Structure 1
């Protein structure tokens, strides 16, 4: 059961303990999941404020003018940070007493950031049809092409290592791409194919990596609520009753959809 999800018009919940980090999140947002993974991996105590991103309260924009999540707020002076990768890097560096998630080698750290960017640049076009298209079968060749490029990119980076971090446990680079890898077979299911079979046959590196990551205790604790995700994604396509009215294909809590709705 999720806690209350705040929407426009809801009163701001005052911070009762300013020493407790506050995490403004949205239940199915992959960028918020990145931060949750790092919070759990670093064993950071925090409270979560869940927000309806499409109909968010005004006090979210007071903290991030772009209105996007995730956001963290911390300290007696209410410091605020946003943008998932920046937030995650900050958390890793601000809490050095627990296992570092980034390489201590500046070059390797920079290479990991390049990989995250390359991965995001491939994932965006491959996953976009699932949010924008009324006919996934027509877009399937584009989707397949993107997924296969992701598999190769992952293979080139990972090599023979279990995790992208090169360590015995996942690192920041692993947690930054995990929300996408986690959703990949669900997207394949939605497109009318068997996600598990498809990964096994066509995306061997993704399949093996997903299996390894799924066994990680942080991932098990902080991962995506699959039922909630599928409920949001599997609604039947509604016919256009008025062709003169522009239709926006959106997903609740998607930051990209929110840009258009603005």
Structure 2
């Protein structure tokens, strides 16, 4: 079995940019009815994005466009067709086919609607986790796109089918392998994007590795509760997440990312 994430994707052609929708005079009530963001409105009822939100939106859409180029090529090399996800950008709350989510959820992918949901405020959360930078955010986006790839390959369904058939601890281990493969796919994207577009600047990979390290289960549990419970891990340790991103980036080989048949993660 190869890997994926059971959570929540989008192509540039299908971008749902809530901030821009409202800026162009869209009806805020229509978005609220759909579970979209609720932001700051002026007297005309249009949303006024901050300069940082506009900058982050550009970062998100450019990164997504790069992932599409890379994954189209990787799929073509394997005589397959890559189907682009849809991007949903939000800042406060959003409704997906996988349920409603607040900004506290952070970025996620929903396999039921094949949409990548990116919370712009997560950029600031990365700063708070001492993992700042544009490429740290790009890594997060590429990770969620990695879950979309896993969904297209049927990996997510294979893992989901095990729910209820095995113990919760065993299912958590499968979840860890799903997440680590998504980290590998993020690294794989960075490798090929550098080859195709020369996107990397000095310190970019360090930013991505910093983000991977910051959101490991062990580190987050230690920070939140003062101790770690390995049996409850669902995303992998900081060291594992760094290792698999680095492996994808350094190898550039899709075949190296089978976390499910790797004894020592």
TM-score category (smaller protein): under 0.3
- TM-score (ref. length: structure 2): 0.26
Question: Which has the larger share of helix?
Answer: 2
- TM-score (ref. length: structure 1): 0.26
